[in-house]
Amino acid sequence: MTSVRLRAVGDVLLWIRNDKKPFALIQDELRQKDLLFGNLETVLSESGTESRKRWVNTTPPEAGEYLKDAGFDILSVANNHTLDRGREGFEKTLEGLETRGIAYIGGARGDDPPGGLVVERNGIRLGFLGYTSGRFRSPPGVTVAKLKKKAIINDIRALKDRCDHIVVSLHWGIENTYYPSPGQVRLARALIDAGAALVLGHHSHTIQGLERYNNGLIAYSLGNFQFDTEIFKEEINSTMILSVDFDRHGIRDYAVTPCVINGDFQPEVAEGRTREKVQHWIGKCSDRVQNGEVSRKWWFEQIGEDYLTYNLESYR
């Protein structure tokens, strides 16, 4: 039966250490796909007005070659760092992707909402939508898609007739926490009910659970994928590649490839005991969600210490 394999990863920073190419150790694995998706957590520009914030993610424009070499087909630019160099940096990021033949979602030139992207492989059309949470205002002349439930559902409905299955990317949640909030669970399920087949989350910098809901699949957070490892706990440097096989009827199968990020910011496939630990963690997080254990009270108890430890740094 005809099918399409989408492989999806989390946050991609493109910073390097010791002149090591960021995807050198995992490039062959990434290319086992029909489509490769990720979240671009940086600006491909060193010009433009720098945002006044603690963490500014900016990368030389030529770093875009790493994305092309790795085989990325689609990237989300809807996140809290995409405007770190203002309108100029954002436009240069879009240019850098376009010149390398990489499609993007969640942002666009102009003042209108970005809308959806439709990509066809093997006779199956996948529609992609991307959004980010957070308090921000897009500069005049460019737009980054905000995460608003009603707008997303309207976009899903508008995209349905143009494709066979819809993938929604959400940059959301609380950083450095291991479980989605009850509100995130409700929203993700509502998007599946509205017609999305797959919801891909990121921003928390951690792997969170997977959930099979009705006929759809939710990955609450794919975690970091290629990232600076020094600012996080050791366990946060565990990551994964999510593989989703679509046929004409929907999601036929999915699988997780456990990975780790080494000291040179390079992801690589996990082996042995490390692989088992990552698999166990994903299973534990997934079970909590699917068993209905993520109540508001329980969630706050789980995230409290890590939330205070990491997120208050943003205000210093």
Cβ-based neighbours of 3, under 8 Å, separated by 6 or more: 122, 124, 245, 246, 247, 252
Query: pTM of the entire structure?
Result: 0.93
Cα 294 to Cα 182: distance, rounded to the nearest angstrom: 6
Cα 161 to Cα 145: distance, rounded to the nearest angstrom: 21
129: closest CA among 109, 86, 158?
158
Name 125's bridge partners.
120
Extract long-range pairs of 94-101: CB within 8 Å, 24+ residues apart: 96/44, 96/45, 96/61, 96/64, 97/40, 97/44, 97/64, 97/67, 99/64, 100/64, 100/65, 100/67, 100/68, 101/68
| Amino acid letter for position 30 | L
Pairing of strands 198-202, 74-76: unpaired
Cβ-based neighbours of 26, under 8 Å, separated by 6 or more: 70, 259, 266, 267, 268, 269
CA angle 180, 247, 258 (to 5 degrees): 45
Name 268's bridge partners.
260
Extract long-range pairs of 227-233: CB within 8 Å, 24+ residues apart: 227/11, 227/12, 227/13, 227/15, 227/41, 227/261, 227/265, 228/13, 228/15, 228/265, 229/261, 229/262, 229/263, 229/265, 232/176, 232/205, 233/176
pLDDT tens track of the chain, all 316 residues?
799 999 999 999 998 899 999 999 999 999 999 999 999 999 999 887 777 777 788 899 999 999 999 999 999 999 998 988 999 999 999 999 999 999 999 999 999 889 899 999 999 999 999 999 988 889 999 999 999 999 999 999 999 999 999 999 999 998 888 899 999 999 999 999 999 999 999 998 889 999 999 999 999 999 999 977 665 555 668 999 999 999 999 999 999 999 999 999 999 999 999 999 999 989 988 988 888 887 777 777 777 766 666 555 543 4
Cα 125 to Cα 19: distance, rounded to the nearest angstrom: 38
Domains of the chain: 4-315 (3.60.21.10)
